[in-house]
Structure 1
Amino acid sequence: MATADAARVTFTIVTGLSGAGKTQCMKALEDLDFFCIDNLPPALLPRLVEIHSSSTGESRNYAVAMDVRGREHFRELEKAIDWLDHSSYEYRIIFLECRDAVLVRRFSETRRTHPLAGVGSIYDSIAAERNMLAPIRQRAHIVIDTSDLKPQDLKAHLYTAVSDRPIHELMSVDVFSFGFKYGAPADADMIFDVRFLPNPFYVPELRNTTGLSGDCRTYVLSHPMAEEFLDTMASLVMKLIPYYSVEGKNHLTLAIGCTGGQHRSVAIADALAERLRAAGVRTQVRHRELQSGNVATQD
């Protein structure tokens, strides 16, 4: 079996038994920032590898799903793998398998016909395919039995096996400030209320500023609870990101609210975004009330 270095592999071949979950596997790999190509004829794999490797663009991981729907395709896949073995390119094979009874149930639920139907019962078709794919399974770098795996479990298995990036780098976070007086956002995953902090509205020289100004920001963040609150929030988000990611979520929206969305929430949203970026999380920040033109009469 060929060896593969998880930090250097560029090409991932996804194959296995029909009904074992190749579609879900490809969706999970796409979420893990792979460029995915489904149902590529095996004979075209060498050409794809050469085109990608000769490009001068940014390097990225490719995942290619291949169905072996007959002995001709099976021979083409073996030839493609032989070619990779004798080339300088590194690759990995992910082979998905599943128990017969589970495969039968899946085909029944989806009302799809097994690709090798016609050689007897569906159990006979599964057995024929399993026997045909045995040599490919022997050459696989990763074998995953999906019989008892939910889609999020499969994604977790794949992340552990193939990702060379910290999981928080795969998540994007949108942090935005808002004012409760204009309504809480309906699309936020988490809402934080910072109305416990001292209100710059009641400081005459800060009343007409926003949390974007240096003086207002300094005033808000100088409160002892502000830094503690930011540390706690950032720590909570970093701890939750892996769990959200396993459930298939790749984007989080965090809403920071104060009364008018002008002072406290703006300063805290900016400071939280800075902490998340420093931790390697792709983060954007926006200020709803400032961008919408709402004029706060009380923050």
Structure 2
Amino acid sequence: MRFVIVTGMSGAGKTTALKMLEDMGYFCVDNLPIPLLTRFVEMFSEPEEEVKKIALGLDVRGGQDFTGLQEVLDEMDEKQTSYEILFLDAQDDVLIKRYKETRRQHPLSGSGRVDTGIAKEREKIMFLKMRATYILDTSKMLTRELKLELEKIFVKGESFCNLYITVMSFGFKYGIPQDSDLVFDVRFLPNPYYIDELREKTGNDPEVQDYVMENDKAREFLDKLTDMVDFLIPNYILEGKNQLVIAIGCTGGKHRSVTLANALYQKLGSQENYGVRIEHRDIGKDAITKRKE
């Protein structure tokens, strides 16, 4: 039997994850009362039981006392009962935004502010994050990206580490991304903006990519950047980091930064032991600014 406990922060995507696991053939139960957990596991551990893949959602809804869950997990460890914990997390500002968009009340905020409820929840379930087998930060994940990660772990059985990398292009004139961990400036490269036939194109177009990457300095920069990131990633994993944002910037975030971000993403995307996504934050802002003018 494969038994997965799906938990984490409210608003981080647990309900969505459970639905995806159900589509992947898991028998899913959401928010089972903790006192029933031991009996639930025993019932499905019988040799003749046909259900072999189970996902159980647990969170703070309904005022569950999670102190009892620690004891249940300790008991399962003593009995050598096999289980995995999938912990879904997200940054506080992202969780607050999601609650405001859905107009829902955080289960621990009462009549107070959402951020107060989030802080209380983090404290209550920190022990689960410490025991988690997998940690997925959904702050920047699209639904399809979450599905791919779950398939990698629970269907394909591929190796997994708790690190998700975002490679982001941006324009310095629009500000450095606040959540970036590593920032690189490629404004030293020739700017396609000053080439008439390239000005309206972007780093997603082959003509711009060829123009940027024909420069020896661009290729050397990419090689050195890839080498450094390859060195840093295993060390970040050892540190326990689960979200890494690599930001590459040029003046407007349309040509050079997009080209180099795409190139780095392609190199990192060949790895299968961590998730990688690409984001072009400012790729269309120049066109919007011109229309307003």
> Could you state the TM-score of these two structures normalised by the residue count of structure 2?
0.50
**Runs of at least 5 residues in structure 2 that lack an aligned partner in the other structure:** 56-64, 86-125, 136-152
Deviation at 1:87, TM superposition (A): 1.9
The reply on whether 1:285 has 2:279 as its aligned counterpart is: yes
- Give the Cα separation in 2 of the matches to 1:188 and 1:113: 34
The residue matched to 1:283 in structure 2 has which SS?
Answer: strand
* CA apart distance, 1:113: 11
1:130-153 deviations in Å (ceiling 9; x for gaps) = 9xx869832523699xxxx97665
Asked if 1:138 is matched to 2:132, the reply is no
Question: Quick one: structure 1 residues 213 and 289, their matched pair in 2 at CA, closer, same or farther if it must change by over 3 Å?
Answer: closer
Tell me if the contact between 1:177 and 1:261 (Cα under 8 Å) persists in the aligned partners: yes
Number of equivalences: 217
The answer to whether structure 1 residue 243 and structure 2 residue 236 are counterparts is yes
Distance 1:61 1:200, change over 3 A: farther
Q: Secondary structure of 1:288's partner?
A: coil
Following superposition, the deviation at residue 32 of structure 1 comes to 12
Match of 1:58 in 2: 24
Corresponding residue for residue 131 of structure 2: 154
> How far did 1:62 drift?
5.9
Q: State the TM-score, normalizing by the size of structure 1.
A: 0.50
Aligned-pair CA distance for 1:263: 2.4
Q: How far did 1:193 drift? A: 0.6
Which letter maps to 1:27? G
Distance 1:36 1:209 in 2: 38
Q: How far did residue 194 of structure 1 move?
A: 0.8
> What is aligned with 1:48?
none
Match of 2:178 in 1: 186
Report SS of the residue matched to 1:219: helix
Output the CA distance in 2 between the equivalents of 1:295 and 1:26.
43
Tell me what 1:260 maps to.
Answer: 252
Q: Equivalent residues in 2 for 1:165-244 (5 A)?
A: 165-167=158-160, 171=164, 173=166, 175-178=168-171, 180-203=172-195, 206-207=198-199, 209-237=201-229, 239-240=232-233, 243=236
Q: Is the 8 A contact 1:188 1:254 kept in 2?
A: yes
Identity across matched positions, percent:
24
Amino acid at match of 2:131: L
Structure 1 unaligned regions, length at least 5: 15-24, 38-51, 94-111, 116-125
Q: Any residues of structure 2 matched to 1:2-21 within 5 Å, and which?
A: 9=2, 11-12=3-4
CA distance in 2 between partners of 1:233 and 1:141 (Å): 41
Q: Deviations over 1:135-194 (max 9, x none)?
A: 9832523699xxxx9766533xx249x97333369625252332x233323233322111
SS at match of 1:176: strand
Larger radius of gyration: 1
Distance 1:165 1:61, change over 3 A: farther
Inter-partner Cα distance in structure 2 for 1:196 and 1:212: 20
Q: From the superposition, tell whether residues 168 and 232 of structure 1 become closer, same or farther in structure 2 (CA, over 3 Å).
A: farther
The one-letter amino acid of 1:140's match is T
Kindly indicate whether the alpha-carbon contact (under 8 Å) linking 2:169 and 2:253 is maintained by their aligned counterparts in 1. no
Alpha-carbon distance in 2 for matches of 1:134, 1:151: 15
> What RMSD over aligned residues (CA atoms) do the two structures have, in Å?
5.2
Q: Deviations over 1:4-61 (max 9, x none)?
A: 6xxxx3x33x6xxxxxxxxxx8439x99999888xxxxxxxxxxxxxx99x7x33459
